[in-house]
């Protein structure tokens, strides 16, 4: 059942929000607000680590940096109960993109993702929660 609510918002903030809505192709504010609320609730559930979840970990790193690739592989093998699969792309002669699909307890996934992102030589890392048990609609 859909509930109707009202909010008060400054004009400048609303203009920015409307632009954001247009750029993302939403047809109305309500759907955009629903998606933002879902994302906020998912993030909160992740932070609490209360349930099963899935995530995508994106890493960009320098291929030749010390023994980074070996260390990343060892960590993934050590956490094989979380790693569902990986996808590796050579961006150029020096840089690689690795996408790691993860499934398990939210907090455990988050800790593992942060461990990989913090490795010396990782140029970019982002952990994207994909679904938590109660938000999987």
Q: Which residue has the tokens 């461990």?
A: 115
> What pLDDT score does 66 carry?
78
**Domains observed in the chain:** 11-47 (1.10.1220.10), 51-135 (3.30.70.1150)
Q: What is the pTM of this model?
A: 0.73
- Phi, psi torsion values for 121, nearest 5 degrees: 110, -15
Residue 64 — pLDDT band, cuts 50, 70, 90?
A: confident
Distances (CA, A) of 89 to 32, 38, 60, 98: 33, 31, 10, 6
> Are 27 and 35 spatial neighbours (Cβ–Cβ below 8 Å)?
no
What mean pLDDT comes out for the span 78-97?
Answer: 95
In this structure, the number of other CB atoms found within 10 A of the CB of residue 32 comes to: 18
17-47: per-residue pLDDT in tens?
A: 999 999 999 999 999 999 999 888 877 777 6
In the 8-state DSSP scheme, what is residue 67? Answer: T
Q: What per-residue confidence (pLDDT) applies to 136?
A: 44
């Amino acid at each position: 059942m859909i509930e109707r609510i009202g909010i008060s918002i400054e004009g400048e903030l609303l203009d920015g929000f409307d632009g954001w809505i247009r750029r993302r192709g939403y047809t109305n504010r309500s759907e955009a607000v629903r998606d933002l609320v879902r994302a906020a609730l998912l993030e909160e559930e992740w932070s609490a680590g209360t349930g099963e979840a899935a995530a995508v970990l994106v890493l960009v790193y320098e291929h030749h940096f010390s023994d980074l690739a070996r260390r990343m592989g060892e960590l993934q093998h050590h956490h094989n109960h979380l790693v569902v699969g990986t996808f590796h792309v050579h961006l150029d002669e020096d840089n690689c993109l690795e996408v790691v699909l993860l499934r398990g307890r939210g907090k455990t996934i988050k800790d593992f993702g942060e461990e990989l992102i913090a490795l010396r030589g990782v140029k970019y890392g982002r952990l994207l929660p994909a679904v938590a048990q109660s938000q999987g609609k």
